[in-house]
Structure formats: C-alpha cells, structure tokens
Structure 1
Amino acid sequence: MPRVLLVAVIFSLICNIACAQDGRIFLSKDSGNIWKRMDQGFPQEAVVNDLAYTKGVVIAGTQAHGVFVSRDELNTWQASNQGLPKNIKVDALEIFENKILLGSFKHGLFISEDNGRSWRATHKGLTDSTVRCIHTFETRIIAGTNNGIYVSTDKGKTWRNIFQRRQINGITSMNGRIYAAGADGIFLSLEQGENWRIIYHKASVHNISSNGMYVFAMSYEGTGKILKTNDDGATWLRSDAGLPAKYTFQVEKIGQRLLACQWDGVYKSDNNANTWTKSSEGLSPGKPFKELLITPFGVITARP
C-alpha cells in the first residue's frame, strides 16, 4: 500500500475512533450535574440540529442524516425517515397536540401523526422552503423562515405569512407575548403574532428562550452575549458571567435551574443567569454542545 494512502487510512481510523469515543448524545438525570452517553445506534458522523419529545419518544433531527428516534429512553436509536427527502437537513422540531412538526432547509415543513414513524409534507401557503424554527402558541403554530414568520391556525394544514422580509432564527413566548429572534434583532408581538415591533436592534440574535420570569436572548454581538429582559425589552441585562467569550447555542429551564450549551460543554445557573458555572461531568471534554431537551426522564444534550 502506498505510504500516502496508508497514512490517509490510519488518519481516518483515528478520526473514527475519536468520534466514537466522543459520543453525540448524553443524558442527565440530576438536572445537568452528571451526564451519561446515550447514543447506541446513532451515527457518530450525524450532526444533531434539534430535539423533541412526545409520548415516550425522543426525536433527533440531523444535518444530513434525516431523523432518528428513541422509544426506550435513549437506550437505542433507529432511523425514521419514511416520507422525507433523502439526507434532508432538519433545522426544527416541535410538538403540537398529537403531531410532530419538522422544519427543514430548502424542503419546507413536514408533519408526523404516528409518533415519528412516517412523515408527509405540509407546505400549503408556505412560500419559503427554509424553516429555521417552529413554536406553538395557544392554538397556533408559528414557523420562522428566511422570509419572516408564518402561522397556521388549522393544525399545520395551511400557512400564512404574517411578518415578511427578514430571517427568523428562534421564537419563544411568555405571559401571552411572542418574541422572535432574527438577523436584524428581536421582535415582540402582543397580538398572537399578527403585529410586531422591534425591541432589540444592536446585533443579530440566533436564539431566544424564556423561563417564566425573563426572556433570554443569545446574541452574536461582539464575541457573543446572553441578554435578559423582564420588561419587554425596555431594559436588557448582560447575563453571561462565567461563560466563555463565545456565543451560546441554547438556554433551557429545568426547575429553578438554567442550562446553557456552549463551545466547551454545558453550563448551569441557579440565579436566573446572573452567573454560570461549568456542569459537564461525563461529557466529551472540550467539545461543543448545541442542543438541550427537557424530558420526564432527564435532560438530553447533543453535540453538533
């Protein structure tokens, strides 16, 4: 075997072993203090873009490997792509009543009514085929796209554009209000998404969440910031003390605790994000973690 080819083969084997050792999906049963690897049957090269949970089923949407599901609390994973385009890039997953909604890159929206076993397209009225985020609000399903926000009031059958000409990266709600994070700031709606006004415009915001007390914005500003507000954006407080000087992927609430995904692991805060400490025991050391999901049997985190 030629030396160059031999070196390439050895390098590939080393990379595959390293990836296998690193793991992709982890579970914590103590609110994020200690983590355990749980990705048997999940491709180690598959990048996880979003997670969802419904009726004992965990759904993982990936960058180029479609959808995988676990029906036994992460002990095993199986591909579940019936009805989906081959190698679809899944950007968003959300649960609405007994349905699973899936948003994709350039393939639009899909819906599953059998707990992720099969999928069908649900594009009527959707004029942008890249769906970055999905959020449920009361009886409405709200989707963020490269061309603004779409809403469905008939359980995903048809869609209507209610906020145009802007990229929407994340949506959350709190106290009857809807907040949308976009490439040109953060927007607020008091009317179920029918009307919007800007409440933050200093930088692009790639994600947004809430804990019932504050709305948390994950900004690209500078080296990345977490900001919080409890007055609809009249004031924003810096809320990333203790985190690396890089943007945060996601913030989720479990009980009174907040967890944050960062470039070197997972962090926790027990004081409404005033300060953060690393909480990555059991995770692949020094690796980024991008997704968080709260389930009845624990917290799930996944690597990009």
Structure 2
Amino acid sequence: MRWIKRTVTIAIVSLTAVIGCQPIKSSSIVNSTFNQAEVAVSGTQQTTTSQRWNNVALGGGGYVTGIYLHPLEKDLVYIKTDVGGFYRWNSQSQSWMPLTDRFPLSQRHYYGGEALAFDPKNPHIVYIAAGTYVWDKPGTIFKSTDKGQTWTKLNIDLPMGGNQDKRWVGERLAVNLFNTNVILFGSRQNGLWKSSNAGRTWSKVTSFPGTPKKDIGITAILFDKQMPGLVYAVAYGDGIYKSTDTGVTWSKIEGSPQWPRRMATGRNGTLYVTSGKGPGVTKYANGVWSNITPENSQAMFNGLSVNPANPDEIVVALGESPSTKIYRSVDAGSTWILVKRTIDSTVPWWTKIMRSQAWISAIEFDPKVTGRVWLTDWYGIWRTDDLKTNPVVWTNYQKGHEEIVTFALVSPPKGALLLSGLADVDGFYHNNGLDSYPDKTFGGNGPDFQDTYSIAYNEKDPLKLVRVGGNRWNNSYSGATSTDGGLTWQKLASFPTNKMPMRVAMSATDPNVFVVTISGGQAIRTTDGGATWQPVSGLPNGPRGPWNWSQSLAADTVDGNTFYYYWNDSVYRSTDKGASFSVVYKPLVGENRWHSLRTMPGVKGEVWVSLDEKGLYRSTDAGKSFSQISGVEKAYLFAFGKPQQGSTIPALYLYGKIAGMGEGIFLSLDRGKTWTNIGDRHQPIGNNPQVMAASKQQFGLVFIGTGGRGIYYYSK
C-alpha cells in the first residue's frame, strides 16, 4: 500500500547486544485475543461459535515489496508486503496463504514487512523482520521451522519501517549459504546485527564503518554463492561495503554506487547492482566496476535478478516509476533486449495503471522452472512462464493476497450486500457477492476517485446514496450520488476547492440533504443534492485526514431534520437539517482517534457512542443523556445489523473487550445485556481494524475493514 501516515506513540528502545535469548513459542508471541469460553456478562450463557472469518474477494491492491523463491523446493515462494504481512504460495489452489494473521491488535505493528530470508539448505526454515514504522513500537525478527505456519519470536527488538521510504529495495536480512547458522540484518537506525546460532542470540556488528542515510540505513545484504566468507552490505547513501570473513571486518568498495537499490550475484561471482542515481545498472568483477545500464538510461532501476542456471542471463526493471520497462541480457549486460509485454489480468476491475506493472519492487527467476520469472509491484504479483516469448505474457496471481486499506463500509437494507470505500482504488459495489471479485470500481460507472472516504444512504429510500472522496495526488476532492444503490454514480455539481471531505451523513427522509465534515476545516451541508453548499455552524473543525478513522457524524434514522456529531468530550445535535449544531451532552470523555457515533436503525432519537477504552454508551433521548453499557470494558468498533428472526431488536456487533470474556469480536441480541464471542483466536483481525458494518439484509453478517488486510466478513 502507499505510504500511510498515522499518529502513533514514540517508542524508545534499548539497543544492546542480546545474550542468551530464549525463543518464545508462537502461541506466546501471538497472544490470543479471544477467550473461547462463551459467558454472558449478565443473563444466560451464550452459544459457542468457531466460524472462521473470511476475506471479501477484492484482488490485491497493495504494495508487494519482495518475492523469494527457495532454490531446493519447487513452488516454495514467499512474498512480503508493506502493510499486509507475509504470504506463501499455494500451487495447488493457485493462491497466497497469509502467514501472519495471528497477530492481534496489540501487535498490529508486526504486519509491516521489513524483510524476509529463508535457510537456503532447509526449505522448512524461514525468517521475517516485522515492523511498520520506526517511530512506532519496535519491530522484531521471527523464525519458523514449518514454512511460516507457526513463528518463534527472536530476541532482537529494533525500530523497523516496513511501510517507510525505500521499502521496495533490499534485502536487509540474509542467511549464509555456507553456514546457515550465520544471519545478518541491516537496520534502519541501529546499524548491522549478526547471529551466529540461527537467531538464538544477536549482537551488533560494531566494526561496520558505513554511514547510511537516516531512517533508511543498511538496505541490502548479500552473501556470495561461491566464496565462503564473502558478503556485501549497502549503506544507503554511502556505498557498498564488503567483508571476506563473514562480517567480522569490513571495507568500502572503491567506486561503488552511492545509492544502490538491489544487488545480485551469479555462479561466477560477478556482482550486479541497480541504482537510483548515477549509472542505473553496474557490475563488479575482478575488482573493476562497469556501467552496463540499458540504453544508457538515466532512469532509476530497482528490480534485478540473475538466472541461477545461467550467470550471464540477467533481468532488470525500472523502479519508482509508473512507466516501467523491463530489460533482459544474455551476455552479462553487454547488450540488452527491451522485454515487450502483454498483460493477462485475472482481476476484472484492475485499472490501466495497475496493469502497467507500476513501481516494480522485485523481479526473480524461478530456480526450478526454466523460463519462469516472477515480479512484484505496487499492486500485486505477476508471473510469466516463458521470458523468451515476444511479447512476454504476464499474468497476475492475486487470489488470497488482500491488502487494500479500507475507509468506509456500508450495508444498506436494499441493493448490494456491501459497498466499500477504499484507499487508492476508490471503492466497490460488490455486485458478484463476497467471494468473487467485483467487476468494476465505483469509477467504472461514474466519477473515478483515488480514495472514497465515506458513504451514506437515505433511510427512506436506501437505493439513494452519496459518497465523498477524491485524489490526494493532485489535491482535488468531490463526491457523487447514486439513485440505484451504487451501481452508477453522478458527480456532484459542485464542491468547495481544496477541501478534503472526511465524513458524510444523509437525511433520513430527504436524499438532497447531507452534511459533510472537512479535514481540518468547518463542516458544510447541501439541501439540493450538492448543487450548492453552505457552512455549518456550531461544530469544531474536523480532524486532519485522510488517515483518520474516527466516525463522528451520523443522521437520525427516523427524523430527517436531525443529525449528531461527537468530538473531544461532547455530543452535538442539529435539528434544522444540519444548518447549525449545539452541544447537548458533555462530558463524554473518550479518545478522539478511535470513536464511533451511530444511530439505532428504526428508532428516533437513539444514539450510541463507542469510546475505545472508555466503553460503549447509549442515549434514548436524542443525546440529552447517556448511560454506559455494563460490562463493555473496551469498544473499539461497533455496528448495528438486521435483527434475528422473530425479533425487532437490531443485532449489535462489537470489536472490543467484555468483562469475563476478554478481547474479541462479539454479538449481542439484547442491546448489550449479553454477548456471544464470534471471533477466532487464530485470526483476530489485528491489522489495524478501521471500520465495521453489519448487514441490514442478512442476520449474522458483519464486516470489518482493515488498514492492510482488506475486508473480512463473518456470516452465521
């Protein structure tokens, strides 16, 4: 996914040599967030459920920053992503299996993929370096002895940045081919680290003299395949260093590129390097550097691979560019052939830029299948089974790789079961159900936005909707309306310039009336479907967007004149169709970043507010007073859905913590008096759950949108 900026707590880390590490079992490091015992907070005991949550089929959409093919086992392929964790290829189902979905919300920073390396002599052993931002909680390295099914945390905690600058270069983590007990890791802020006992203990390599750029650090480490003890390391912005004694001593290679992206060697020991400045592709042989850049291009090169079966065959790709070119050489870079391409996309809605293989990160020869090459880019994973054809046919393999960041989810009483507002790919009317890819984005039948931040519908006529969003890349924002449930959209006739809309709420009775909050500014409203706009009085300026998931605004579900808003410690109400708001209740002190305000379907004046660690609150008098829901110790997200058969009480879903039951995902059928745990402790949906919605058409169907693992759904 693109670089997502979030407000987080600064962590101070002690960075000393670690001695006597005791590996912790996977079940310990990935703490269970769900208590399997189902007990009621009050009232009768509830039924146990073990139903697994599934991904809504979307089709990729996130940055895959590395791909790794084991030299000993066919089809053993791993990928790392910037915000979606790590995956392994399943050749039988032709899909990607997520390997890090057991991390709960408290360990969400481990979904950032900093690095991956496998034991080249043992296909069962793989290591991952996980951590999203250097300013967040420290990252760490995990080890698996069963191809990623379970993980052991190793005792090395360092700032990592899987979703930060230069995450597409590498590789920072490397295992020595000649002695696989030796592992090196290049950090962003704290130098070079080494383990000599397969990860049990780690120490900092104080002899490494490189001075890399701040927060990018040592970006690539490469053990030579022919000469024991020879290893290279990139100090980004400084140059390439080498060691001939397995990392004990180091010296800078004179004349080396200052800004290397990737390194690779073949069986003959020649070192190849792609760079972002200066010569795009160079090679180092017999102590001499040679510029072998294709077409003498001054563009940035990134992706690089040497054929394991033929050290003279090389592929390179432009990087950090939507206008990607791929070149192939069969004479060690003396001459190059521009690889002409044909795209075979398996995801029907992928746009032109997504099909262009934009911003390629990694490109790799398959060591077990002649002619097969894999590559990863800004949106997914591609493969050709014959690099020698003209043109080369590339097919994207996206099944199972769900990495889209979610802004909004809506499940109206009529029309599609789900509409989603997403980062970078606009959003969807899920016309093919939940297990098949949608045919088009919203932009396929209306205005095309980079992001859709919020969606609302009219309670009286739910096929009438409004969505707001826009394009961060050129700071242009607007919205669109639909009269057919989101199948087609019409762009708003006008919208204030340079204003980023954050949330929208539509009147329950008049679809031409809706209120929009503005990032860092004053809210606005329209009474004519977006033809004209007026300022809203009485509300504080909205929070800065777009990376804010507070759900502050809602319309009453019965009274078309009434809207509600929460911020800081106050509940605001408007009774004049959003023209003006005033405080009706305070203090309701919560956490501004994680709160949701929702109105009860079909009930006038009933308002609910979740305040994360402050709990869940209910008002039955249009916000004049609130009572806390007993037993709810944490309310991170919540949603209302269709009542169960024979009841008129909407189903209440909660992502939070219940007294006596622990943390998890829960269902209540009696307005929060008793709860059933519907979560899965093996799949806690911990990757930044951002939004929650429940179906108004189907009882027991609920959705959670995440910050890097797409959208999950559960159905009773």
TM-score by length of 2: 0.35
Distance in 2 of aligned mates of 1:154 and 1:258: 33
Deviation at 1:134, TM superposition (A): 1.0
Question: In the alignment, what sits opposite 2:200?
Answer: 117
Residue pair 1:258, 1:270 contacting (<8 A) in 2 also:
yes
Distance in 1 of aligned mates of 2:93 and 2:314: 21
Question: In the alignment, what sits opposite 1:170?
Answer: 262
* Cα 1:260/1:31, change in 2 over 3 Å: farther
Distance in 2 of aligned mates of 1:204 and 1:169: 9
* Cα 1:263/1:199, change in 2 over 3 Å: same
* Cα 1:31/1:122, change in 2 over 3 Å: farther
> What amino acid is the match of 1:77?
W
Distance in 2 of aligned mates of 1:47 and 1:240: 33
1:94 aligned onto 2:189: no
* Cα 1:285/1:168, change in 2 over 3 Å: closer
Question: In the alignment, what sits opposite 2:118?
Answer: 53
Question: In the alignment, what sits opposite 1:261?
Answer: 376
Deviation at 1:31, TM superposition (A): 8.5
- Structure having the higher strand fraction is 1
Residue pair 2:315, 2:329 contacting (<8 A) in 1 also:
yes
Q: Secondary structure at the match of 1:79?
A: strand
- State the structure with more CA Rg: 2
**1:207 maps to which of 279, 292, 303:** 303
Distance in 1 of aligned mates of 2:332 and 2:96: 35
**How far does the alpha carbon of each residue in 1:171-230 deviate from its partner, in whole angstroms, 9 at most, with x for none?**
101241210111221111122xx3211111512212311223421212136622222212
1:157 aligned onto 2:248: yes
Question: In the alignment, what sits opposite 1:196?
Answer: 289
1:227 aligned onto 2:295: no
> What amino acid is the match of 2:187?
S
Question: In the alignment, what sits opposite 1:275?
Answer: 393
Distance in 2 of aligned mates of 1:33 and 1:209: 23
* Cα 1:125/1:104, change in 2 over 3 Å: closer
Distance in 1 of aligned mates of 2:356 and 2:238: 32
Deviation at 1:78, TM superposition (A): 3.9
> What amino acid is the match of 2:242?
V
1:28 aligned onto 2:89: yes
**1:131 maps to which of 191, 215, 218:** 218
Q: Percent identity between the aligned chains?
A: 21
Residue pair 1:251, 1:258 contacting (<8 A) in 2 also:
yes
**How far does the alpha carbon of each residue in 1:132-190 deviate from its partner, in whole angstroms, 9 at most, with x for none?**
11111122101122211111001111110013461111110124121011122111112
> What amino acid is the match of 1:253?
F
Q: Secondary structure at the match of 1:81?
A: strand
Question: In the alignment, what sits opposite 1:39?
Answer: 100
1:238 aligned onto 2:338: yes
Distance in 2 of aligned mates of 1:69 and 1:102: 13
Distance in 1 of aligned mates of 2:403 and 2:188: 30
Residue pair 1:66, 1:89 contacting (<8 A) in 2 also:
no
> What amino acid is the match of 2:284?
S
Distance in 2 of aligned mates of 1:224 and 1:106: 31
**How far does the alpha carbon of each residue in 1:252-285 deviate from its partner, in whole angstroms, 9 at most, with x for none?**
2332222211222211111127321112222217
1:181 aligned onto 2:280: no
> What amino acid is the match of 1:25?
F
Distance in 2 of aligned mates of 1:222 and 1:121: 38
Residue pair 2:357, 2:378 contacting (<8 A) in 1 also:
no
Question: In the alignment, what sits opposite 2:66?
Answer: none
Question: In the alignment, what sits opposite 1:68?
Answer: 142
Distance in 2 of aligned mates of 1:189 and 1:60: 29
Question: In the alignment, what sits opposite 2:232?
Answer: 142
Q: Which moved more, 1:212-221 or 1:175-184?
A: 212-221
Deviation at 1:44, TM superposition (A): 4.3
Distance in 2 of aligned mates of 1:240 and 1:107: 42
Distance in 2 of aligned mates of 1:248 and 1:95: 24
> What amino acid is the match of 1:225?
K
Residue pair 2:323, 2:356 contacting (<8 A) in 1 also:
no
**How far does the alpha carbon of each residue in 1:235-266 deviate from its partner, in whole angstroms, 9 at most, with x for none?**
22223622524121112233222221122221
* Cα 1:286/1:40, change in 2 over 3 Å: closer
> What amino acid is the match of 2:231?
I
Distance in 2 of aligned mates of 1:88 and 1:222: 26
Residue pair 2:143, 2:153 contacting (<8 A) in 1 also:
yes
Deviation at 1:38, TM superposition (A): 2.1
Q: Give aligned pairs, total.
A: 268
**1:250 maps to which of 351, 357, 362:** 362
Question: In the alignment, what sits opposite 1:300?
Answer: none
TM-score by length of 1: 0.77
Residue pair 1:38, 1:75 contacting (<8 A) in 2 also:
yes
Distance in 2 of aligned mates of 1:49 and 1:160: 26
* Cα 1:35/1:103, change in 2 over 3 Å: same
Distance in 2 of aligned mates of 1:51 and 1:240: 30
* Cα 1:278/1:245, change in 2 over 3 Å: closer
